[in-house]
Amino acid sequence: MRIQFDKAALLIVDVQDSLLPYIHQAEQMHAKVLWLCKLAEYLKLPTVISEHCVDKIGGTNQAVSAAAAGAQVFQKRSFSAVRDGLVERTLLKDKAHVIVCGMESHVCVLQTCLDLLAKGKTVYLVRDAVSSRKRSNIKLAMARLRQAGAIVVSTEMVAFELMASADHPSFSSVLKQLIK
């Protein structure tokens, strides 16, 4: 199934500064999350950012917050943002396709995606924009989410599926600025 723009939203899970230094290939993951934020801006794709236990570990990385300035921010305490009302209390309520990036793959990303799937959402997990502390946990999370029905994609796959055609009004900008 392809991502359909009118049914889609981007969900950025827990990209928080205090955790980033411990994440496997954090710089690469962070760069891809920022890439998705820029894509969302070009395409005017609705975006939600989840933040885990802000009182203990701080908020979203400043660069991500700035790149996704129009995003709806959702604070949570459960590992699954869905358990804390993510779907009911955000714009995801009206979206069938959820494009997911962030961290950690095997904890908050995994549990949020499993619960989104259980609620009937189609989950597009952006492989090059998710990570965990240990590479082995990333691989296990990807395998489990595939088995559960998530569709694993890349950042560029997301861009081209959302635009659907070279006639898209943002195609030239996205091509020049993001797909180099």
> Hey, which residues are catalytic here?
14, 76, 108
Token pair for residue 83?
């358990």
Q: Which residues pair with 122 in a beta bridge?
A: 97
Considering only CA atoms, which of 73, 84, 147, 75 is closest in space to residue 110? 147
Q: Rg (Cα) of the chain, in Å, rounded?
A: 15
Residue 49 forms beta bridges with which residues? 12, 73
End-to-end CA distance of the chain: 26
Strand 8-13, strand 97-103: pairing: parallel
